[in-house]
């Protein structure tokens, strides 16, 4: 679990206008909460990633086991079509469903199997797989929200050069963050190759992992490559964020710089208190 740590030079933002100071304090309080949300999203993502990898390994092991079983049966001269009663009795129960030639029976049996496994605490594999994307999307949206909160903070205190420099540095460290967030927030448009204004996106060629190539300019929607999560942007490029502790390190460091750029009064404090 990632621990968010912030240090405040004082207990209250010092500004000529107390109402503005109160707004600044509220924005900082919100940023604290979003940093914690970011840490929780990372924890959920890492757990889901590990569980998904375990399921893949288990499925691969089961496939090899079945292949080895078939090989041994073939070498031993055992046929699946053996006619003796003992061989027929050893056939898996689902074989009977297949022989009925009624796919509805088989499909209902699959649903019943999922219900039974869920009652035993085993969720469908598609749920486990989807958890990674759920947490990765939350991570992306939260990181973008923190940047937006910092931008608003700078604006209400008069956009001092020190704060503007912090925001510019963060935008450079996490390029295309807002544009990547927009693609996840408007999937209905990206799926049909459209920008927010309805015009077509001219997707750029993309090549990353050996099995992900879009030489013709294909659209990638909420694509996950290891810990990198991203989508095709409005301009056709590909934006992504790395769902790792180092990304939170970057955000926490810039938030701390923003805190240090403000004037403070009162006793120093830390977060969490």
* Residue 250 in domain: yes
How far apart (Å, rounded) are the C-alpha atoms in residues 130 and 216?
28
* Residue 84 in domain: no
pLDDT of residue 135: 97
pLDDT of residue 72: 62
Q: Give the SS3 label for residue 265.
A: strand
How far apart (Å, rounded) are the C-alpha atoms in residues 203 and 102?
44
pLDDT of residue 173: 97
pTM given for the model = 0.80
Cα 97 to Cα 80, 102, 105, 116, 258: the distances in Å are 16, 7, 7, 18, 65
Beta carbons within 8 Å of 148's beta carbon, 6+ residues apart: 178
Task: Quick: pLDDT tens for 174-185.
Answer: 999 999 999 999
Cα 178 to Cα 121, 190, 269: the distances in Å are 38, 15, 31
Task: Quick: pLDDT tens for 83-122.
Answer: 455 555 555 554 554 545 567 777 787 888 889 888 988 8
What is the domain range of residue 236?
Answer: 8-74+93-271
**Tally of structural domains, the chain:** 1
How far apart (Å, rounded) are the C-alpha atoms in residues 224 and 238?
12
How far apart (Å, rounded) are the C-alpha atoms in residues 185 and 193?
14
pLDDT of residue 84: 53
How far apart (Å, rounded) are the C-alpha atoms in residues 222 and 211?
16
* Residue 34 in domain: yes
* Residue 183 in domain: yes
How far apart (Å, rounded) are the C-alpha atoms in residues 195 and 186?
9
> Residue 249 forms beta bridges with which residues?
none
pLDDT of residue 82: 46
List per-block mean pLDDT (blocks of 10 residues) for the chain, which spans 273 residues: 97 95 97 98 94 63 59 55 52 51 74 87 86 96 98 95 97 96 92 86 73 63 92 92 98 98 96 94
* Residue 83 in domain: no
> Residue 8 forms beta bridges with which residues?
269
pLDDT of residue 158: 93
* Residue 233 in domain: yes
Q: Which two tokens stand for residue 208?
A: 């990353």
* Residue 1 in domain: no
Residue 242's closest CA among 54, 6, 38?
Answer: 38
């Amino acid at each position: 679990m990632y621990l968010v740590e912030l240090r405040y030079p004082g207990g209250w933002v010092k500004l000529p206008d107390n109402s503005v100071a109160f707004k600044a304090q509220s924005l900082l309080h919100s940023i604290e909460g979003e940093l914690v949300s970011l840490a929780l999203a990372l924890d959920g993502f890492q757990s889901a990633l590990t569980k998904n990898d375990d399921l893949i390994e288990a499925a691969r092991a089961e496939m090899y086991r079945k292949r080895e079983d078939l090989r041994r049966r073939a070498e031993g001269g055992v046929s699946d079509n053996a006619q003796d009663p003992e061989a027929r009795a050893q056939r898996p129960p689902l074989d009977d469903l297949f022989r009925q030639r009624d796919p509805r029976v088989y499909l209902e049996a699959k649903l019943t199997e999922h219900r039974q496994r869920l009652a035993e605490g085993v969720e469908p594999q598609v749920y486990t797989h989807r958890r990674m994307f759920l947490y990765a999307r939350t991570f992306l949206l939260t990181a973008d929200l923190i940047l937006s909160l910092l931008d608003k903070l700078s604006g209400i205190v008069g956009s001092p050069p020190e704060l503007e420099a912090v925001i510019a540095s963060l935008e450079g460290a996490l390029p295309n963050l807002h544009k990547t967030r927009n693609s996840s927030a408007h999937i209905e448009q990206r799926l049909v190759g459209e920008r927010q204004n309805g015009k077509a996106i001219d997707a750029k060629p993309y090549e990353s992992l050996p099995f992900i190539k879009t030489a013709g300019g294909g659209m990638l929607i909420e694509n996950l490559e290891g810990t990198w999560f991203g989508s095709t942007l409005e301009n056709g490029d590909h934006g992504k964020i790395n769902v790792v502790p180092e990304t939170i390190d970057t955000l926490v460091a810039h938030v701390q710089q923003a805190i240090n750029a403000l004037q403070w009064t009162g006793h120093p404090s830390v977060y969490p208190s």
